[in-house]
Amino acid sequence: MKLLRTFVLPRIIQYLVVIFIGITLTFLIPRLSPINPVDNAVGRLSAFQTMAPEATVALRESLMDLYGLDGSLLEQYFSFWKRVLTFDLGPSFTVFPTPVSKLIGSSIGWTIGLLSLSIILAWVLGLILGTLAGFFPNSWWARTLENSLIVIYPIPYYIVAFVLLMAFTYYLPIFPLVGGSKGAPGFTWSYISSLLYYGFLPALSLILGGVAFRFIISKALTSTERSSDYVRFAEMAALPKHKILFSYLIRNTLLPQVTDLGLSLGLIFEGALITEAVYGYPGLGTLLLGAINSADYNIIMGITLLSIIGIATASLLVDLSYPLIDPRVRYS
Amino acid sequence: MVDTIVKAEALKAYYITKAYGVERTVKAVDDISIEIKTGEVYGLAGESGCGKSTLLKVLLGDFQPPLTVVEGSVSYQFEGMSKDATKLSEQDKRDIRWNKVSYIPQGSMHVLNPVRRIQDTFHDFITTHKGTTKPQSFEMTQAYLRDLGLPEKVMRSYPHQLSGGMKQRVTIALATILYPKLIFADEPTTALDVVVQRGVIQLLKDIQKKENSTVVLITHDLGVHANLADRIGILYAGKLVEEASTRTILKTPKHPYTQFLINSLPSFDERSAKEGIPGRPPALDHPPSGCRFHPRCPLAIEKCSTVEPPMLELAPGHRAACHLLTDEVNHAAG
């Protein structure tokens, strides 16, 4: 009970405050900008056809109403909150009148699937390889691995994506060029295998960089931890290597890495913008890119709100899980 | 008859590093011979950087490159078995360490795994050498802590919940849980305040008395030596310069360096500022020629800068390496 009051409750309150501030800023920033999306839209619509002035005014008013730009700033703010709380994010501009929530709903699954899988895989692989390389720093395989991953690491992920795309869809056409799956969605082998087949290259391009990054961090953490007093003492006492590796090294290097994993999972809702665009993957990234190109404010707002909630939730979960993995946090 | 338990003969251990084609040799332990007897507390003293910790590493057989034993040997003598500590296999380490030879690290705060309960750490160390189950280790730990008068509730604690002094006591218990015959203690009381120091010294004394174990105690703190050690060896710049019983070293030191060390100790009846030893300890990659102390020695004669002084037996059990003592020895002999 005490734990709940002194540890859990303050963090949940903080979480709510962060989301509140984030959503308020999301509301304010576009309204403080000199560009009015409705004028933009009216301008674009009237560029193709001449409209009667009354029609233009009527169009403007209905658009203002539709996008919640009516009334004073305070009135707008309250109606904004009402819409956020009912998940009514308004219609999309480009695919009018499909609601934004429906568009996001249909792409979110793709992004979560692709990104959570590749982030977790890259984390696990990088952690294991990096820790082993840090534990056996003089072995030939550790050096080879380190040298090759250090070369991969600085290459921007979109370059990796392009290279993989060209290599495996054009020169060696093994993988499909665009899309997320084939056939009717369902829990069948043919559908699931097509998911993996279409997702392979985008995932690989994300995993490569992710593994390299995690490898470098894990190796550095392991090397530092290796020379710590308690590891040296355990080695002096001739404790078995696997015991030292798991209970003494990894158990301690894991702490910052878990935080990092949680936070990168929180970033999922922004999508992997360029990766998805390169592979024509039907996720949030592609949706966001299209929305930015066509100034579809409601979609941009929707995805921004999602990522605010995503990151805040991830930090909350990391924070709440910390006492489980680090005893030093438990009693303070 | 008192048996020898560790014997180091003409031991030379150097740090040999090579960077950009330049080889650098730091002679941290240079030609040291010592013999430690079963059941005694042997103190090693000297300034920082004199090679104390390096000597300890070699005596423990726990060293990696760049530290290399260039010459000499360290032999452990246990009932019916002798081993060269500088050439231990992994199997030897599992057999000897903790069972027979143990190590109490510097009074540092970080030798206990921060994310493991004390009882789990004890289990890790015990089961490595005894193959015990968790409940067996638990029982052994409980009995031993009770024996030493440490509170049993520390077993369920994590290291960060213990005070510095308690951590050091738990570490000492962890190092001696298997009743080793030979205990190396490296600055066991540094970083502790005097009251806690006293408790830790008492604990070490108790353990040593109870098992009649041998303790090799390393500290720059001569007060701790005076309290614990039977015999003291004084190290200077990688060399043993004097060795005698604690009483002799404190009352009638012969080597000029030892005299300086003893004179710089504060005492109650004197309130004047203490005189330090002029100069600094030499860098060990280019030690001075001849006697390594001669640049700082006010009594140095010409011979001191060219000829290395031999170790002289001044009296039974009292050795020192100084040219000025040659006459005294000859006189006694003649």
Q: What domains are defined for chain A?
A: 103-297 (1.10.3720.10)
Q: In chain A, which residues have their Cβ closer than 8 Å to the Cβ of B62?
A: 236
How many Cα atoms occupy the beta-carbon half-sphere of B110 within 13 Å? 9
Distance CA(B321)–CA(B297), nearest Å, equals 13
Distance CA(A255)–CA(A261), nearest Å, equals 10
Distance CA(B44)–CA(B52), nearest Å, equals 7
Query: pLDDT at position A120, please?
Result: 94
Contacts of A99 (CB under 8 A, 6+ apart): A88, A89, A90, A91, A92
Pick from B137, B144, B140, B190: which is nearest to B168 by CA? B190
CB B143 within 8 A of CB B198: no
Q: Do B98 and A238 touch (CB under 8 A)?
A: yes
> Would you call the peptide bond into A34 cis, given omega within 30 degrees of 0 as the criterion?
no
Distance CA(A103)–CA(A99), nearest Å, equals 7
How many Cα atoms occupy the beta-carbon half-sphere of A51 within 13 Å? 15
Contacts of B294 (CB under 8 A, 6+ apart): B288, B300, B304, B305
Query: β-strand B318-320 against B312-315: which pairing, if any?
Result: antiparallel
Residue A216 buriedness (CB in 10 A; 0-12 / 13-18 / 19+): middle
CB B200 within 8 A of CB B224: no
pLDDT category of residue B273 using cuts at 50, 70 and 90: low
Cα B6 versus chain centre, distance: 12
Between B285 and B209, name the one with better pLDDT.
B209
List, run by run, the mean pLDDT of 10-residue segments along chain A (332 residues): 80 93 88 75 74 82 77 86 84 79 88 91 94 90 91 87 90 83 77 86 90 93 90 90 91 88 82 83 88 82 88 89 81 56
Report yes or no: A328 at the B interface, CB cutoff 8 Å.
Answer: yes
pLDDT category of residue B268 using cuts at 50, 70 and 90: low
> Would you call the peptide bond into A97 cis, given omega within 30 degrees of 0 as the criterion?
yes
Pick from B114, B140, B110: which is nearest to B125 by CA? B140
Q: In chain B, which residues have their Cβ closer than 8 Å to the Cβ of A251?
A: 113, 115-116
Smallest Cα distance from B143 to chain A, Å: 21
- Identify the bridge partners of residue B232 per DSSP, sorted by sequence position: B43, B244
pLDDT tens readout for residues A8-23 = 899 999 999 999 999 9
Residue in chain B closest to A235 (alpha carbons) equals B62
Record the tokens describing residue B107, joined without a space.
């009074």
Mean residue pLDDT of chain B comes to 86
Q: Do B160 and A327 touch (CB under 8 A)?
A: yes
User: What values do phi and psi take at A312, rounded to 5?
Assistant: -65, -40
Report yes or no: A56 at the B interface, CB cutoff 8 Å.
Answer: no
Q: In chain A, which residues have their Cβ closer than 8 Å to the Cβ of B116?
A: 247-248, 251
Q: Taking the CB of residue A179, how many other CB atoms lie within 10 A of it?
A: 14
Query: pLDDT at position A325, please?
Result: 82
pLDDT tens readout for residues B158-204 = 998 998 888 888 998 999 899 898 999 988 887 778 888 888 888 88
Q: In chain A, which residues have their Cβ closer than 8 Å to the Cβ of B89?
A: none
Report yes or no: A46 at the B interface, CB cutoff 8 Å.
Answer: no
**DSSP code at position A104:** H
Report yes or no: B94 at the A interface, CB cutoff 8 Å.
Answer: yes
Query: pLDDT at position B1, please?
Result: 45
Distance CA(A131)–CA(A211), nearest Å, equals 12
Nearest by CB to residue A233, choosing from B105, B114, B129, is: B105
Query: pLDDT at position B64, please?
Result: 82
Report yes or no: A229 at the B interface, CB cutoff 8 Å.
Answer: yes
Q: In chain A, which residues have their Cβ closer than 8 Å to the Cβ of B125?
A: 234, 237, 239
Q: Do A331 and B161 touch (CB under 8 A)?
A: yes
Element spanning A314, H or E: helix A297-325
pLDDT category of residue B274 using cuts at 50, 70 and 90: low
pLDDT value at B110 more than 60: yes
pLDDT category of residue B50 using cuts at 50, 70 and 90: confident
Q: Compute CA distances A198 → A123, A161, A280, whole Å.
A: 22, 14, 10
Q: Do B113 and A251 touch (CB under 8 A)?
A: yes
Distance CA(B91)–CA(B95), nearest Å, equals 6
Is residue B269 classed as helix, strand or coil in its secondary structure?
coil
Report yes or no: A54 at the B interface, CB cutoff 8 Å.
Answer: no
Reduced to 3 DSSP states, what percent helix, strand and coil does chain A have, rounded to the nearest 5?
80, 0, 20
Residue B64 buriedness (CB in 10 A; 0-12 / 13-18 / 19+): exposed
Distance CA(B303)–CA(B306), nearest Å, equals 5
Q: Which range is least confidently modeled, A61-70, B134-143, B307-316? A: A61-70
ipTM: 0.86
- The pTM of this model reads 0.80
Distance CA(B183)–CA(B206), nearest Å, equals 13
Q: Do A238 and B161 touch (CB under 8 A)?
A: no
pLDDT tens readout for residues B19-42 = 888 888 888 888 888 999 988 999
Which of A224, A236, A325 to mutate against chain B (most B CBs within 10 Å)? A236
Distance CA(B44)–CA(A56), nearest Å, equals 96
Distance CA(A72)–CA(A82), nearest Å, equals 16
pLDDT tens readout for residues B85-105 = 888 888 888 888 998 899 988
